[in-house]
Amino acid sequence: MINVGIVGGTGYTGGELARLICNHPGMELKAMTSRGNAGKPVGSVHGYLKGYVDLEFKSSIEEDDGLDLVFLATPHGVSMEHVPYLLEMGLKVVDLSGDYRLDDEKMYSQWYGKGHDDKDNLTKAVYGLPELFRESIGKAQLVANPGCYPTASILALAPLFAADMVDGDVVIDAKSGTSGAGVKPTIRTHHPNCGETVIAYNSGKHRHQPEIDLILHKLGKGGNVYFSPHLVPIIRGILSSCYLNVKKKMTTEDLQELYTEFYSGERFVHVTEEGSIRDVVGSNHCQVAPLCMGGNKVAVFSSIDNLVKGASGQAVQCANIMCALPEGMGIDFPGLGV
C-alpha cells in the first residue's frame, strides 16, 4: 500500500484527489493539509467525502506521517516552497501547479511574473503526460502534472507533430467550464457574469500557451501555436478545437488511422468521430476526433474533464506509474454520460 498526502486539500483539485484516492486499492490517504482549515474534519469542507475520508486537515506534512508520495494541489508560486523539503524527505512528488512545467527559468519568469526559487529541481522535473512520457515518469521523483488546456490540446496534436505532418501555424480554440478557474470566486466566474455567455480571455497571453508550445515542439517541427481559451457556462469539461494545415492531402479516414495507431494500447485516449464533453465528464478519459476539412486542412477536437484527466485523475495516473502500480488503478471508470 502506498501512503499518500495532499498539500492544499481545500480546492477543487485537492478534493478531487481525495475522492479518487479514498477508494484506490493501492493507495491510502494519510494526510491532507490546509492553512485555513487546519483542525477541521475533511468532510466538513468537502461534504461529498463524509464517510470516505476520516481525517482532519493538518497545517503541514511531517516526517512522522509515514508517507511515500505527496500531491501538491497548490497555486503556482506555492509549490516551489514545498518541493525541496519533500524531496529531501525521500518522498515522491506530483505537483499539480505550474511551477515545474516549464524547464526554463527565464520562460517561467516571463509567463508567471516572478522568479523561480527552486532552479535545481525545475530542470529535474518530468512532464507528467503518460501517453508521451511514460518511461521518464516511471523513473521520476518529481512530476509536473500538465495543465488542463495543455492536456487536451497536446493529445489532440501530438500524432501530427510526431509524424512531422504539421505545415505552418496551429490555431487552438479551447473552451472550459468554470471549475477550471478554481474554488476562489472572481468577478469573471461570478454566475451572473458567466452563466449565459461565452467569454474569450487571455488570448495569446495565457500561461498554458508556452506549455503547449514547448511540449509539441519537443515532439516535432511546426509553426507557431496560437492558443485562445474561452469560458463557457458549464462546470466541468474542456473541448479543444485545433486547426492546422498538414503537408499532404489526407482524408478523414487517413487521419483516423494515424491517430488510432499512435494511441494504440492507450487506455485513456480514444479516437472518435466527433468531440463531446459530456462523454468524458467525471472520467480520466480523453476523446480525440480528427477531421479532414478539405485538401490539406485539418481540424482535431479533443475533450476531457478538466478536473480529472486535466488535473487530479492524471496526477493519480502519474503516481501509479511512479509507484509501479497498474496505470489505471483507481481511475479506470467511464464518464457520467448524462
Catalytic residue among 148, 242, 286, 318: 148
| DSSP codes joined into one string, 220-264 | -----EEEEEEE-S-SS-EEEEEEEEESS---HHHHHHHHHHHTT
301 and 291 Cβ atoms separated by less than 8 Å: yes
34 and 9 Cβ atoms separated by less than 8 Å: yes
| CB-side neighbour CA atoms (13 Å) of 75 | 8
Instruction: Please count the residues of the chain.
Output: 338
Q: Is 148 a catalytic residue?
A: yes
CA gap 254, 8 in Å, rounded: 45
Per the structure block, which three cell numbers stand in for 139? 523513473
Give the torsion sign (CA, 255, 258, 261, 264): negative
CA gap 45, 9 in Å, rounded: 9
Three-state DSSP at 296 gives coil
Q: Which residues are catalytic?
A: 148
